[in-house]
Amino acid sequence: MHEELETLLEMQDLHMQLRALEEGEVRDLESGLFDMGIEEALETLDQKILELQGRLEPRVQDRYRRLISAGNRAVVPVLGGVCYGCFVAVPTSWAAEADPNDKLNVCQNCGRFHYYPT
Amino acid sequence: MQLRDFFSTDAIALDLTTETKDETLRTLVGLFHLDEKSEGILFKMLKRRENLGSTGIGRGIAIPHCRSLVVNRLRVAFGRHTPGLDFKAIDEKPVHYIFLIVAPPLEVSNQYLPVLGKIAQFSKEPDVPEQLAAVTKPEEFLQLLEMKGV
Ligand SMILES: [Zn+2]
């Protein structure tokens, strides 16, 4: 797997966790059932995201930031040859590669990073 | 929605002999048969979640959970560790029963929270730890879920 793709996946997972903790249901569950200190958790997640961001090339950082701050996902799966960000078919030459995750692929239509789940 | 429908018998490990919390999480993630990289990412995310606060909810039960794009649908696993593990649980007691739940960031049917809730509900039943200890094969674990009506 492409190193930056791995970092992006991790960052996005953390961002999703952060967003989820800012709202009702997950926040209640994590603090109620699991006794999590929410404010502290948000801060920890924030820091970790910044740390990971530092590992990306400026160009990749910018694209990620732009997408995620618009409230969108920055990395989306390609399932059945379709980009799950914009639901447009991805040219098959990419999908046919041995492991498409070895490259950092960007959707030609919506600009999101592509991830091919196993 | 019934919990048993989410478990497959090959994702139920009743005789864990792992030595640490990390090793246990890795072993349970392994039950999903993902590729090595995906397993690594998932393990890291679960660890991150544990670092925000242990998912050991007491009475020997832990429910590690996270969302990640490396899985394409909701996956659950169950592990039993008879000797007991240090999980930094809320009641500081060893953990014997581990329910692992992972889901993609967005699921069409939004099952992640309901499943997490059901497992929590199941775990709160007074006789559940005792019954989990008595299970001898994966099928019996599924029967127990069914019997409890979750
Ligand atoms: Zn797209």
Spatial neighbors of B56 by CB under 8 A, at least 6 apart, are B62, B87, B88, B89, B90, B91, B95
Q: What single DSSP character describes residue A75?
A: E
Give B79's strand partners: B13, B98
Q: At B51, phi and psi to the nearest 5?
A: -70, -20
Q: Which domains does chain A have, with CATH numbers?
A: 3-115 (1.10.287.1490)
Report the range of poorest mean pLDDT among B18-27, B80-89, B107-116.
B107-116
pLDDT of residue A93: 63
CATH number at residue B121: 3.40.930.10
| Band of residue A96 on the pLDDT scale cut at 50, 70, 90 | low
Query: How far does residue A111's CA lie from ligand 1's centre (Å)?
Result: 6
Question: Using CB atoms within 10 A of its CB, is residue B142 exposed (0-12), middle (13-18) or buried (19+)?
Answer: buried
Q: Which of B70, B90, B91 to mutate to test the interface with A (most CBs of A within 10 A)?
A: B70
Q: How far apart are CA B75 and CA B32, in angstroms?
A: 7
pTM as predicted: 0.90
| Chain A touched by B55 (CB under 8 Å) | yes
List the one residue out of B13, B5, B9 whose CA is nearest residue B150.
B5
Whole domain around residue B141: which residue ranges?
3-148
Query: What value does the mean pLDDT of chain A take?
Result: 91
Per the structure, how many domains does chain B have?
1
pLDDT at position A118 over 80: no
pLDDT of residue A88: 97
Q: What is the ipTM of this complex?
A: 0.85
For residue range B85-141, list pLDDT tens digits in order: 999 999 999 999 999 999 998 887 889 999 999 999 999 999 999 999 999 999 999
